[in-house]
Structure 1
């Protein structure tokens, strides 16, 4: 990475719709502090998917640190691009969840965050590579989830009329109230398992859903995936266990299974005579529908040390 003067140079890419429109306001104080410290700061608002690749290429050619300003979805959309160019990523968390920023221990205070961007260490962290969901192979930073939590994420996206702090809890309860369990086939490093479950989460990071500690043992630097299976239970039992997910106590429940490995194959359908597809999400974004066939599953693999990130 080249530098301007003695400091880092930054290319901020801002998703203005993140956090219900909070991202543009989050940029201003951090960018000002960086400029006052002598850093060169370039800010681009509303980069669409087509423009994102070009903007990252231009930033990398200049030797800039690429800064994701938004939520976990924005981060994931940039992580693969930055990793593929062996460049460095930083974050100004400004989304609803900010779960990967939580995993990195990033501060909320603009002054403290600017200090991290200027002086923080560059760490190499793992990413997830996902294929078999109808689109091309893509990278995700935090987790992939299939089932009731993917429905909850979709509900949270529409719950913009609620205060940000209430959107995920509301969405989780709404999704649980209408959930149907699925029949899942989960192969971890080639070892097959079958479950009747509410959800299956393949986690790189410990957190999702705005601070839910879904995978307490997860590390973003161990080259291992943590697979959390929450087996089918009554709606009421699932609702009662929801508070336990915030501090990770749910993994002690008998209906929760934790597996670890480097490659996970997933397929399944909703239970019942009608069957039906199971939705899949990743870092707050819909990724498609889980393949029904074990012969053609979705595949999630860990990519160790894929991304350089300042934290």
Structure 2
């Protein structure tokens, strides 16, 4: 029977991470699993707890949102420690990419019985973040600004905070001139954003990269070109379904490594936590993290 260490972000989401864990913890213990709970006071603290638990051979549960999942997943990448996710944040986009159940019984079944599947991670390197590893995506441009606004929203939660942050960011955004180098090939790009996606989702369920897979050893690079603001608002709505990728203003590339530069200071972010300014180099780390989930088509318990 598995031994779990739950690392809880006590400020995640609308309710506390601890509240999200209560029902699940009872189900795990009733099944005979051992569960210890640790509360983090910072992401760095959460990463330390996770590493120490992994060194003791325990399965680490990241209880929180995408920042918690990405921070802990990044810290465990390459160590062999198995990660489980307990979605308890605003976005929960990486959990969505893994198609994890939202009900405690379904999630408990995954954590108790699923075989670990190896997923890719993303190494992020810049002058500020010399080497950071995340799970979901790196985004440079208006969406990084939108995420910053969403993180500081006090009255709105979940998708509403991201949508409001997006509206605020778009109204002040000026198109940037980017230089995007994908696996050694340079692409000039003028527009709103460049996204390097391991997960199809970001921004609380927006399907930014419908073709992205967490286990294919590649990043989907989505570039949205300069367009009238009214069209960009239409594109924002189309992110709900992924229909935006069929527009001529959107280009999708795939690769293992890319460097994003810009002619003026442009913010970038990663998994809702990292905030910095271009340039940045991004690399996929194929199959670097074992995670408890059932890939599409896998048989249930």
* 2:57 is aligned with 1:63: yes
Deviation at 1:165, TM superposition (A): 3.8
1:301 is aligned to 283
**Alignment root-mean-square deviation, CA:** 1.3
1:187, 1:265 within 8 Å by CA — same for their partners in 2?
Answer: yes
Residue 158 of structure 2 corresponds to residue 164 of structure 1: yes
Residues 222, 163 of structure 1: alpha-carbon distance in 2 compared, 3 angstrom cutoff: closer
Q: How does 1:132-151 map to 2 (within 5 A)?
A: 132-151=126-145
Distance 2:47 2:235 in 1: 42
Contact 2:43 2:68 in 1 (8 A): no
157-166 or 60-69: which moved more? 157-166
Q: Distance in 2 between matches of 1:281 and 1:18?
A: 19
After superposition, the C-alpha distances for 1:26-60 in whole angstroms (9 at most, x for unaligned) are: 01111111111111000011243443344223312
Residues 180 and 259 of structure 2 are in contact (CA less than 8 Å); yes or no, is this contact kept in structure 1? yes
Q: Distance in 2 between matches of 1:20 and 1:181?
A: 34
Residues 122-162 of structure 1: CA distance to partner in whole angstroms, max 9, x if unpaired? 10000110102412211110100000000110111112312
Gaps of 5+ in 1: 1-6, 270-275, 292-297
Aligned to 1:246: 240
> What is the TM-score when the length of structure 2 is the normalising length?
0.94
Q: Match for residue 266 of structure 2?
A: 278
For residues 235 and 224 of structure 1, do their structure 2 counterparts lie closer, same or farther at Cα, with a shift above 3 Å needed? same
The yes-or-no answer on 1:94 pairing with 2:88 is: yes
TM-score after normalising by structure 1: 0.91
CA–CA distance in 2 between the matches of 1:160 and 1:20?
A: 11
- Asked if the contact 2:90/2:157 (under 8 Å) is kept, the reply is no
- Is the 1:122–1:310 contact (alpha carbons within 8 Å) kept by the matching residues of 2? yes
2:277 is matched with 289
SS at match of 1:35: helix
Q: Which residue of structure 2 aligns with residue 105 of structure 1?
A: 99
State the alpha-carbon separation in 2 of the partners of residues 283 and 54 from structure 1: 19
Rounded Cα–Cα distance in structure 1 between residues aligned with 2:189 and 2:150: 26
Distance 1:302 1:127 in 2: 6
Matched, 1:208 2:202: yes
CA distance in structure 2 between the partners assigned to 1:115 and 1:100 by the alignment: 18
Tell me: CA distance 1:199–1:50, structure 2 relative to 1, closer, same or farther (3 Å). Answer: closer
Corresponding pairs, count: 293
State yes or no: 1:114 paired with 2:135.
no
In 1, the alpha carbon distance for the partners of 2:134 and 2:230 equals 32
1:250-265 matches, within 5 Å, as 250-265=244-259
Contact map agreement 2:137 2:198 (CA 8 A) in 1: yes
Structure 2 gap ranges (5+): 294-301
Aligned position for 1:186: 180
Q: What CA distance in whole angstroms lies between the structure 1 residues aligned with 2:40 and 2:169?
A: 30
* Worse-matched range after superposition: 184-193 or 277-286: 277-286
Equivalent residue of 1:67, what SS?
strand
Other-structure match for 1:4: none
**Relative to 1, partners in 2 of residues 1:165 and 1:268: Cα closer, same or farther, differing over 3 Å?**
closer
* 1:150 partner SS: helix
Distance 1:233 1:217 in 2: 23
